[in-house]
Every structure is written in C-alpha cells, then in structure tokens.
C-alpha cells in the first residue's frame, strides 16, 4: 500500500504545482520618470542618469566609466544634442550610431512604453517578456509596476537603482 501511496501523492503534488497558472494582467508603464541605472553590454558597464519626459524626449547623463562621465544626451523633436564640458553639437536622432548604448536604451524603452504589456504577476515582482526588433526581452517590474530591470537577448541589461515618477504638469490656459 505504501508503495502506491507515495507515488500517488507525489503525482498529485506535481500536477497541482504544474497546473497552477500565475495571474496575468496588462500594464502600461508610467510615461515620465527620472532614474539612475547600471547598464551592462557584454563586459562593459555604465552608470547613467535617465530622464524620460515624453515619447522620444529624453535626457541621459553618463555617470561612469570615466571615459564617458559627463556626456549629456538631450533627445527631443527628432534631434539629439550631445554636450560635454561646455561643448555641444546637434544631429538628427535617426543618425544616432547603431552601437550606441544611449541610443539602444532610449529606443528599447520607448518601444516598451508605446504599448500595454502582458505581465505575469508575482507576489513581489512581475515579469513582462516578448520581442523588440526580433530580440527577446524580459522586463522585471516591482509590485507597483515600476521597472527594476530590462534584459535583452543581445546581452544588454539595464538595472534601475533609482526610479522616480514625474507627475505631468498641466499647462494653464488663459482666457485673455
């Protein structure tokens, strides 16, 4: 009897664990934020301050490593201004170098923000996954739907160390 009972209990346990489905929901990410993030691409690590004000409207300041510290990228209205120590130049955002870490972060985050995400809800964190430009991604969110980490199949990882929402300020109109 014991020989049959143990496998039967084990089989029921496996079926119950295997059949449980995590609840899912759709999430739209907050449109505006200021954050700090550790960005890893292969063996290279960066730290950046990221400010997203609207779709394709960003300011990114590189904080490390020393070779890029102080570079500030301001993206708005299809143009990117790069400034460093009082010097600056502007170019068409569409001509951003393809391998640029800043370009990759902005492009991928804007695409995630452009659509509701299907999220698997956990107790403390939630996960969204899918593809961006035929590259798999996984986005880890806090229980309040604040991004914690974005991982891309090509080896890029953006881990947010600070994330503050920006409240959208309504413009006042005058009847004058």
Task: Establish whether the linkage from the previous residue to 145 is cis, with ω within 30° of 0.
Answer: no
Asked if residue 45 has pLDDT above 80, the reply is: yes
Q: Map out the domains of the chain as residue ranges.
A: 22-165
Q: What's the start-to-end Cα distance of the chain, in Å?
A: 90
pLDDT band at 3 (very low <50, low <70, confident <90, very high): very low
Asked if residue 21 has pLDDT above 60, the reply is: no
- Give the ranges where the chain is alpha helix by DSSP (H): 2-19, 101-113
| H or E element at residue 38 | strand 33-41
| pLDDT average, residue stretch 54-74 | 95
Instruction: State whether CATH 2.40.110.10 applies to domain 22-165.
Output: no
| H or E element at residue 6 | helix 2-19
3-state secondary structure of 101: helix
- Range name among 33-42, 49-58, 125-134 with the lowest pLDDT average: 125-134
pTM above 0.85, yes or no: no
pLDDT band at 168 (very low <50, low <70, confident <90, very high): low
Q: What token pair was written down for 65?
A: 């490593």
pLDDT given at position 148: 96
């Amino acid at each position: 009897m014991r020989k049959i009972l143990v496998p039967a209990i084990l089989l029921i346990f496996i079926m119950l664990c295997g059949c449980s489905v995590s609840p899912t929901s759709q999430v739209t990410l907050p449109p505006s934020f200021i954050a700090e993030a550790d960005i890893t691409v292969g063996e290279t690590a960066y730290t950046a301050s990221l400010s997203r004000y609207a779709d394709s409207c960003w300011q990114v300041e590189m904080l490390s490593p020393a070779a890029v510290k102080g570079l500030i990228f301001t993206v708005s209205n299809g143009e990117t201004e790069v400034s460093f120590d009082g010097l600056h130049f502007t170019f068409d955002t569409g001509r951003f170098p393809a391998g640029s870490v800043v370009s990759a972060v902005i492009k991928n985050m804007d695409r995630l923000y452009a659509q509701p995400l299907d999220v698997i809800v956990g107790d403390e964190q939630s996960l969204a996954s899918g593809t961006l430009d035929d590259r798999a991604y996984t986005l880890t969110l806090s229980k309040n739907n604040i991004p914690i980490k974005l991982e891309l199949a090509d080896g890029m990882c953006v881990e947010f160390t600070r994330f503050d929402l920006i409240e959208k300020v309504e413009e006042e109109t005058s009847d004058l």
